[in-house]
Structures are given as structure tokens and as C-alpha cells.
Amino acid sequence: MVAKVKTTKIEIECVNCGEQIFLSGKVELGQVVKCVECGTPMEILSLNPVEVDWAYNEPVYADDDGEAW
């Protein structure tokens, strides 16, 4: 699978505080960016048009032996 990449200047809006964020250079699908104002992590969900949403970390659960599942 080839990762989709966009290499133009992009303007996004923070999903938390509404701050305008400017990205330039290589922007990849699935990339996580942080708001410069409030630090909210956001994931690039679409490149055309550019869409972002909250970036979530999946919790890791372990059983009694410490094995992740």
C-alpha cells in the first residue's frame, strides 16, 4: 500500500481551540500534528480536501501475567 502524500502549503483549523495552523512540506495521510496554541494532537484523515480530527491513542490492556491483548 502506498501512502498518500501532499506537498503543498495547507491551512487547517484546530479541532479544539479553532487556531489556524499552516503546514508546509510533505503532509501524509495519517500524520499527527499538534496545535501550536493549545497542543491538541490531530490526525490528517483526508488530503483532498484536507480534513483533521482528534488523534487518539488506543489503550493497551494487559492480563494478570502482563501480556497485552
Q: Write the pLDDT tens digit of every residue in 8-23.
A: 788 999 999 999 999 9
Give which of 20, 23, 25, 46 is closest to 33, Cα–Cα: 23
User: 21-38: per-residue pLDDT in tens?
Assistant: 999 888 899 999 999 999
Dihedral class, residue 66 (left if φ above 0, else alpha if ψ from -120 to 50, else beta): left
**Which range (35-39, 52-56, 63-67) has the least confidence?**
63-67
Provide the mean pLDDT of the chain: 85
Domain positions in the chain are 5-54
pTM reported for the whole predicted model: 0.71
Amino acid letter, residue 46: S
Letter for the amino acid at 41? P
The CATH number of 5-54, from 3.40.50.920, 2.20.28.160, 3.40.1710.10, 3.40.50.300, is 2.20.28.160
